[in-house]
Amino acid sequence: MALRLSKTLLRSNQHVRLLSTDRMQSVENYEAVLDKFAQIRACAVLRTATSEACPKAMQAAIDGGFEICEFTLTTPNCLDHLADFRKKYDGKVMIGCGTILTIADAEAAMDAGSEFIITPVMLPDVIQWCKERNIVCVPGCQTPTELVSAYRHGAPLQKLFPGVAGGPMWVKAVSSALPFLSINPTSGVDLDNAADFLKNGAASVGLVAPLFDQAAIAAGDFDKIAQNAAKVMANVRTAGPYQRKK
């Protein structure tokens, strides 16, 4: 009886371990994602009001030079579009998912093919879930305290959101005082100041409204999005690659 019980418990524990490592990524994949962020240093962050506009806008950003793209869950049919772009550009353009608020959101994003996870606020449970699975999680933070907390919970990049007074100089001050952080501003970054953030301590930046001009999208002027992308990526390249924090 005791032996049968022990075997049952063993099988149960094995099942728990299997469940705890679902959607596991390799260490090599984890490192490759961070290397891509360090090399490219800019991510196109897309929100559109309609499902129809989403793939057209993101395609324009890629045509303009972006190699890291984030689809956000606030966009209708976000995960369908994410899956389509992941299949189309696998190995060429890195595709991630943002506005993740729960572990269930993160699971759905990974099932759709997301290569990294972005949250709008600091969510320790999501960070930990990602850390256990070698998934790069970039959580939203607004203060130095939140940035450090995200780092201590296991986030290798920390998203600065929303923008703060001082912009690049704020990033410079915080990076100087807390040099172990790898800050990713995604608000307050525009087509002209992206390199300023990078040259003053930011690891990478996210481009949202300045890249994806909503008036241009509404008018179907996706050439404007491609032009915005080309302009900001030329700006970003002047900063050179980022030296990753180990």
Whether this model's pTM surpasses 0.75: yes
pLDDT tens-digit profile of 47-63?
999 999 999 999 999 99
137 neighbors 163 (Cβ within 8 angstroms): no
| Residue ranges with strand state E in 38-190 | 42-46, 68-72, 94-98, 117-119, 137-141, 158-160, 183-185
CATH code, 26-237: 3.20.20.70
Domain ranges of the chain: 26-237
Burial class, 225, CB count within 10 angstroms (exposed 0-12 / middle 13-18 / buried 19+): buried
184 neighbors 159 (Cβ within 8 angstroms): yes
Determine how β-strand 117-119 pairs with β-strand 137-141. Answer: parallel
- Per run of 10 residues, the mean pLDDT along the chain (length 246 residues) is 38 40 92 98 97 98 98 98 97 97 98 98 98 98 98 98 93 98 96 98 98 97 98 98 89
pLDDT tens-digit profile of 129-150?
999 999 999 999 999 999 999 9
Work out the number of other CB atoms within 10 angstroms of the CB of residue 176.
10
In which element (H, E) is residue 206 found? Answer: strand 205-207
Structure tokens at 56: 């057209």
